Amino acid sequence: MNEHGAIRHAEPDGDGAPVGAARERRAQPLTADTVVAIEIREAVAHGHIDTARERFGDLVATHQRRALRIAFQYLRDSAEADEAVQDAFVKAFSHIESYREAWPFEVWFTRILINGCLDRRKARARRERWFAPAEEASIADEARPTFGGNAEPNPEARLLARERRARLAGAIDKLNGRQRTVFVLCHYGDCTPREVSAITGLNESTVRVHLFRAARKLRGLLGGKA
């Protein structure tokens, strides 16, 4: 992982985890999604593509919401986050033969997702260098009605929540690349520092340092309030 948060592809054991950590991880029992991912890999290897697709649908349903949460925190655009998540799932399926069970499928997939989001952020920065940034996406996101019981009860509460989210998004945007990645993965991706270490290729203690710095900076930017 470089200082902008991009995650390296070449790792010591070929699947993104430090060698020692991978060995340690292999001793642990496999998670359910890892078992499914192994089945999909075997099905693809034996040419049972339809079965593999069907099983992969279960993985999509399991990780979809979490993936959207992470992608949206990176991109702050619902449509672009949607595309990033779709791309990540398609990429994961098309490269499922290179998946190794040293780490859970969740870690491997998150790594693909984060790299895709970072690529999109870079592309957006390049676009905005030449063109004025479009406000349509955020306006459309804010204008979208809320569904279910999570909607704020009245317009004032909605307005306050919107302001709070805007402040938080601005504060997260001010973090540097590594801090942002580590914070988003820990707080919005439900990853442990060890998993973040596996995803990013950083040392676990380095992950913790970045996490503390990110939290301290965010609290400072937000004035101690969320």
Partner 1 sequence: MIGQRHLSDDRLYECFVAAQTGDALDPRAAEHLVDCASCHSRYAEVANVMTALRTDADAEVDALYSADALHAQQSQIARRLEHLGHTAQVISFPRHAPGSMSGQSSRITPRWLAAAAAAGLFVGVGLGSSLQTPAFSSVRRAQAPVTAPAPVAEPRPTAPAPAPVAVPASSPAATAADTDDARDKFMEELEFALSRPRTSELLAFDDLTPHAREISLSTRLQ
Residue from 101, 188, 204, 221 in contact with partner 1 (CB under 8 A): 188
User: Are 214 and 175 within 8 A, CB to CB?
Assistant: yes
Residue from 8, 32, 94, 139 in contact with partner 1 (CB under 8 A): 94
Residue closer to partner 1 (CB basis): 2 or 146: 146
Q: Smallest gap, in angstroms, from Cβ of residue 69 to partner 1?
A: 5
Q: With binding defined as CB under 8 A, does residue 186 bind partner 1?
A: yes
Q: Taking CB under 8 A as the rule, which mask of x and - marks residues 166-185 in contact with partner 1?
A: --x-----------------
- CA distance to 73, 103, 192, per residue, from 186 (Å): 12, 17, 6
Task: Return d(Cα 203, Cα 197) in angstroms, integer.
Answer: 6
Residue position matching structure tokens 């390049």: 126
- CA distance to 17, 38, 171, 191, 216, per residue, from 209 (Å): 19, 34, 18, 15, 11
Residue 95 corresponds to which amino acid?
Answer: H
Query: What number of other Cβ atoms are within 10 A of residue 70's Cβ?
Result: 27
Q: With binding defined as CB under 8 A, does residue 146 bind partner 1?
A: yes
Task: Return d(Cα 203, Cα 19) in angstroms, integer.
Answer: 12
Task: Point out which span in 4-12, 19-27, 119-127, 144-152 binds partner 1 (CB under 8 A).
Answer: 144-152
Q: Which chain residues interact with partner 1 by CB under 8 A?
A: 49, 53, 56-57, 60-61, 64-65, 68-69, 72-73, 78, 82, 85-86, 89-90, 93-94, 141, 144, 146-148, 150-151, 161, 164-165, 168, 186-188, 192-193, 208, 211-212, 215-216, 218-219, 222, 224-226
